[in-house]
A and B are shown apart, each in its own frame.
Chain A
Amino acid sequence: MSEKVLMKGNEALAEAAIRAGCRHFFGYPITPQTEVAAYMAKRMPKIGGTYLQAESEVAAINMVYGASAAGARVMTSSSSPGVSLKMEGISYMIGANLPAVIINVQRGGPGLGGIQPSQADYWMATRAMGHGDGHIIVFAPSTVQEMADLVAKAFDLGDKYRIPVMILADGLLGQMMEPVILPEPIDQENLADKDWALTGHQDQRKHNTISSLFLEPQELENDILKRRERYLIIEQAEPMAQVEYMDDAEVAVVAFGAASRIARSAVNKARANGVKVGLVRPVTLWPFPKDILSAVGDKVKALLCVEFSTGQMIEDVRLAVHDKVPVSFFGHTGGIVPTPDEVVVAIERMVAGEQFHILPFKSRLTGGAS
């Protein structure tokens, strides 16, 4: 096993992508994901890969489309406003059944927003990554180690299901350094052959076609329904979540990504005060780990979602538990990171039987109910 090194989340992710066989990167600069592109710019030329700074995000995602159609393991990375620009291309890739890894190191929105950490792109990533009937797989890492580990998994699942996969990180995870054990490089020879790819064949086989255009409605419906069957398989096989402190838990906190780090500190503090609180961390946001949440919902009296937004994942949590238990919300948005003490206050209020949706835009310590 290789040794532990100290790396920024963005850099660990980029190195892990290379080790997962990514040899093509197309991007456009934006804070706070810059280190991903900078790392690729430095490394790709040395390993015979392609690093290209496109003229725009739209151009970059269409280069990704092209490389993927040719069978390459390809990646692009951006931050929230830039990902909005890529949505058209991602929808085309969904329609053309093309795998790729798309990184979103989220910052505050809407619009240009700010540059501090945010999770306000949950809805965009899980619901509306472009127009049409479609989904992408979405992973939410919560440590630098996971930034590295999940990117390899993202490439594998993308190829397996022929679907774009997003790593939904944020500025906090991208910029922080932690010890990380980088995954071993894969053997490119062992990757499954992509018999659908547009590779030159000198008329030795039937032509492959890659397109998302179906002018005949029945053809389009058939295509969408075929893809939906794959989605159903993904929803069965791929949900991931980490469930902790549930043995004696009477309530639980649900949080993903960087917010789960704050939640973990708060859960530890609350448990030190004798509060029996569990922690559930969805690792895949689509497919959402519904069954795991549902099982947790059967065991506890109340749930609290903590997000860096005004409350987006909470809708999936409520659906998963069928509103059998009250689901409260606490969060900050716009780039403000909640403090563990604020979350402890929210946990205590949940334990006291309150149901609330707090967005404390005045006081950071006690919050104001809205």
Chain B
Amino acid sequence: MADLQIMLAGFGGQGILFAGKLIAYSGLIDGRELSWLPSYGPEMRGGTANCSVCLSDAPIGSPLVVDPDILIAMNVPSFNRFVEAVKPGGIILVDSTIADVCCMRDDVQFYRVPATQLSEEHNLQTLANVILVGRLLKLTEFTCASSLDTAIDKSVSAKRIDLVNFNKQAWRLGYEFTDLKECG
């Protein structure tokens, strides 16, 4: 499987770190090398949060993603901050409910997923992040369905079995989603 350097970014509270953790955990279950590095500090209190995740079959050197293969941006400032850093041929996924943006680059694949709107329509409030992880799974097959489900089992408190099921529902919703073609 290909090495992937992933940058996830958004507001504190959108579940950026959790989404990254799900991707990282699936790598652990698949027996791959991986790293997960959060931005830490004042951004945890409502500023922009971001998270670097590396998946590889060789030991990870720098865990800090500078030029990602994949950018998941959940707000406009994060999109603006990282859009130019994405490697040519890379993938950019945005939550278009919140980041109603267009990508001017023609050397990347750009996908708009109204993840927050989808989460509200399906009574999965606060799981826009996991919907985007599902969309990423469809696009890259970075892991398999059963590994991602296990990652959710491991990452969500066993006391919240309802949340476990909501998370599993959420990534499937993103996986099945057909992207919006038009730009805001």
Contacts and interface: CB of A to CB of B under 8 A. Distances in A.
Nearest to B17: A177
A172 interface: yes
Interface in A313-370: 337, 339-341
A178 B40 contact: no
Interface in B130-163: 154
Contacts of B63: 172, 176, 178, 261
A178 B35 contact: yes
A179 B28 contact: yes
A62 interface: no
Contacts of A268: 61
Q: Summarize B's interface: helix, strand, loop or mixed.
A: mixed
Interface in A263-295: 263-266, 268
Contacts of A179: 28, 33-34
B66 interface: yes
B142 to A, nearest CB: 16
A262 B33 CA distance: 16
A53 interface: no
Contact of A262 (B24, B40, B61): B61
Given A115-B41, A171-B40, A176 B35 contact: yes
A172 B52 CA distance: 11
A50 interface: no
A11 to B, nearest CB: 13
B60 interface: yes
A175 B40 contact: yes
Nearest to B151: A6
Interface in B150-180: 154
Interface in A166-180: 171-172, 175-179
Interface string A113-130: 001100000000000000
Interface of A: 4-6, 31-32, 115-116, 171-172, 175-179, 261-266, 268, 337, 339-341
12 contacts: A4-B28, A175-B38, A176-B35, A177-B21, A178-B35, A179-B34, A261-B61, A261-B62, A261-B63, A262-B61, A264-B62, A340-B62
